[in-house]
Amino acid sequence: MTFTTLITGASSGLGAEMARQFAALGHDLALTARRTERLDALKAEITAAHPQRRVETYALDVTRDEDVTAVFEQAKGDFTRLDRVVVNAGLGKGAPYGKGSHYANRQTIETNVLGAAVQTEAAMAIFREQRAGHLVLIASITALRGMPKSMTTYAATKAFLASLGEGIRSEMLGKPELAIDVSVLYPGYIRTEMNEKVEQKTKFMVDTDVGVRSMVEAIEARKPKAYVPAKPWVAIGAAMKALPLPVVRKLL
């Protein structure tokens, strides 16, 4: 039976590369984003490389609750079921607090928290109806501790995602009649458009295809929680949770 994966924020970066790699693994794809011209180009690329795969695209702004629900339901209808939803759409804007740039922090909160919450609501409603599914939340290694300056809000929103995923997974542990898995991924530094202006020599940064390959492997294994790529982020993640905050600041 064909496996269908829905990915939000699929027009670039991690979302687009996940789509390529899932297609290579034999998945049919429902791809959503605001930039539909990029989605169309990605669809053409994937279907040219994997003509047996079905790829459908949907315009979606995840900060519009009604649109999220409608698009997820439309995708379910188009494919008859959704086996996996990857909550990937996100923003990386931010500014230090008290500096007069709250608009940037607010936009990130609206997308990464409220947008993620409604995506999760829509996905879980479908999975409960199907009595099966796989919810994947893309957090960040920065979710493990508070981050300074322009990263403060971004890290906090990713910590919300991590806690959200664990809470739903805890509930599902008590419902064996529902075959619903929940995975939270904590990517380290992976090169994407979001961080393309970051200094190229940033330590631990890996190329998009390399980083996403480790993400896809963790998702396919349905790991409840994964620091990706595992090397060096498993070790760094453990250190981040244990070390004093001044040391964590220097570590990253």
**Amino acid at the residue 85:** V
**Which residues are marked as active site?**
154
Residue 213 C-alpha from the chain's centroid: 14
Q: Could you give the CA distance from residue 81 to residue 133 in angstroms, rounded to a whole number?
A: 9
Residues 6 or more apart whose Cβ sits within 8 Å of residue 196: none
Asked if 13 and 192 count as a contact pair (C-beta separation under 8 A), the reply is yes
Residues 6 or more apart whose Cβ sits within 8 Å of residue 51: none
Evaluated on CA atoms 26, 32, 34, 39, the torsion sign reads: positive
Q: Could you give the CA distance from residue 159 to residue 151 in angstroms, rounded to a whole number?
A: 12
Q: Could you give the CA distance from residue 119 to residue 127 in angstroms, rounded to a whole number?
A: 12
Question: Helix, strand, coil shares of the chain as percentages rounded to 5?
Answer: 55, 15, 30
